[in-house]
Amino acid sequence: MKLIFAQGNPEPDYTSTRHNVGFAMINTLADQLGANWTNKSKFNAFIAETTINGEKVLLVKPTTFYNETGDSARNLVDFYKLNTNTDLLVIHDDLALPFGTIRVRNQGRDAGNNGIKSLNSHLGTDFHRIRIGIDNDKRQQIGDTDFVLAKFSADESKHLTTEITPHVIQLIEHFCGGTIKITSLKTDL
């Protein structure tokens, strides 16, 4: 079994914000696969069960706020007896990467990302992650907190749909098939 764990905030006001890009990725994947979301309160998460490359997969959107997602992930890993090194993939925004950059890592520090800090404190640092760059020039004008909670521009939203999402979904498929590689790629806006 594989666990695809997206970082984001659960409230409707955060839909389409930079901080919720992880949710956007697995919402699209769930739609493509016809997987339905169920609120699983014991895990503090919405979960959609599906199969990818013959592997049972749980798509997960925690119902805790972004900075407190570690508890939800820990409960799921423990309940399903998963190995974080091979069975867990986290998808999240990354303020340190330019918009359009997608980076895959199999471990790492939080680099100031409080959601990853929560995951690392509950799970350790050895799990795969897809980091989706969100940085642009606007960040310098409004500050980090307002920036990550702001919505993508129309051009960025289009680019997310046409360029970034297909790459991320392909990486999720590779992860589920055991063929994901450490990589970095840049999609042009």
Active site residues: 19
CB burial readout 74-99, b (16+ within 10 A) else e: bbbbeeeebebeebbbbbbbbbebeb
Q: Which residues contact 103 (CB under 8 A, 6 or more apart)?
A: 94, 97, 130, 131, 133, 183, 184, 185
For residue 157, give both structure tokens.
């939203």
For residue 160, give both structure tokens.
């997310």
Pairing verdict, β 183-186 and 45-52: unpaired
